[in-house]
Amino acid sequence: MKLGVLCDGISRDLAHTVDVMDEFGLDYAELQFVGDTEVGDHSAREIKEIDSLLRDRGKPVSCLSRHIFAGLTSANAPGDAAHSQHMDALKRVIDMAHVVGSPLVRIMTNKKEQILWGQGGAEKWNVAHGAWDATLSLIEPALGVARDAGLTLVVETGNGTMINSNWTARKLIDDLDAKDVLKILWDPANNCWCHETAYPDGYETARDGYLGHIHIKDVEVNTPAATLIVKPMGAGQLADQFAPIAAALRADAYDGVISFESVYHPGNGDFEAGFRACIATFKSIFGP
């Protein structure tokens, strides 16, 4: 399978990250921050330098991952100032994607409303009425931009966002009739917060053409205590889920990239050390 890394999880110094990628045989670079700058905000000269570095070192870009639409709420609407800023950023990221050859651009979704549907009285007293329709309206304009650009968007299953499970991601795609241009960026560790079991539930939901990209990390969540702990890979609550996920991806001939997301540190804030502590386990499970 195609293995890569979310580069700034090692270092925002891209040249150093590429050295580390070579050290561990990782091929695909997912870009979020390069230097102190988020993708979509680099100058034309900086983008050319990024492209030259990655092409010279044989590292295709798997995805450009800006936090597009993150921080919006269901009170926002297309055309307002905040949404317009995110749409402008999306267009800049797409321009960068054309230069660096990225087939995917990540989007996020607006802040989570907890209960979107209900019955037996919940539909009156508990549901956040209108929140789902507001989400559809916020995301829909991005689809036309991506179609015109010939690129695919991937919506990340995120913590604290409206799309926080493969179930909600698939419903978003279906409700927008967007399977041609919008796929799931599955982060099974993020989905732990809403208690979606990664395998088989999450995987089966994302099958049949919905899955576009994957982030891998391990966590321990305590939703009642509002606490998240990033764990070394294989030491968290996904430990027994990774192998069956990998087997299913192989069986289904998944052709996308699996990015290791290096957000663990061993207590000292050194994320490269966290990467080095986890990468062998990642490769042993998801590697060839």
Task: Express as a percent the part of the chain with pLDDT over 90.
Answer: 100
Task: Provide the pLDDT for residue 117.
Answer: 98
Task: Provide the pLDDT for residue 288.
Answer: 86
Which residues fall within 8 angstroms of residue 253, CB to CB, at 6 or more apart?
Answer: none
Predicted confidence (pLDDT) per residue in 119-128, tens digit: 999 999 999 9
Domain boundaries, the chain: 2-286
Predicted confidence (pLDDT) per residue in 236-286, tens digit: 999 999 999 999 999 999 999 999 999 999 999 999 999 999 999 999 999
CA dist., res. 180 & res. 147, Å (int): 9
Task: Provide the pLDDT for residue 271.
Answer: 97
Q: How high does pLDDT run on average in the chain?
A: 98
Q: What predicted TM-score, i.e. pTM, was given to this entire model?
A: 0.97
Predicted confidence (pLDDT) per residue in 29-81, tens digit: 999 999 999 999 999 999 999 999 999 999 999 999 999 999 999 999 999 99
Q: What are phi and psi of 57, to 5 degrees?
A: -95, 5
With CA atoms as reference, report the closest residue to 158 among 255, 62, 261, 239.
261
Predicted confidence (pLDDT) per residue in 189-218, tens digit: 999 999 999 999 999 999 999 999 999 999
Find out whether 273 and 266 touch, Cβ atoms under 8 Å: yes
As to burial, measured by CB atoms within 10 angstroms (0-12 exposed, 13-18 middle, 19+ buried), residue 40 is buried
The domain 2-286: what is its CATH number?
Answer: 3.20.20.150
Rounded to an integer, the average pLDDT of 145-171 is 98
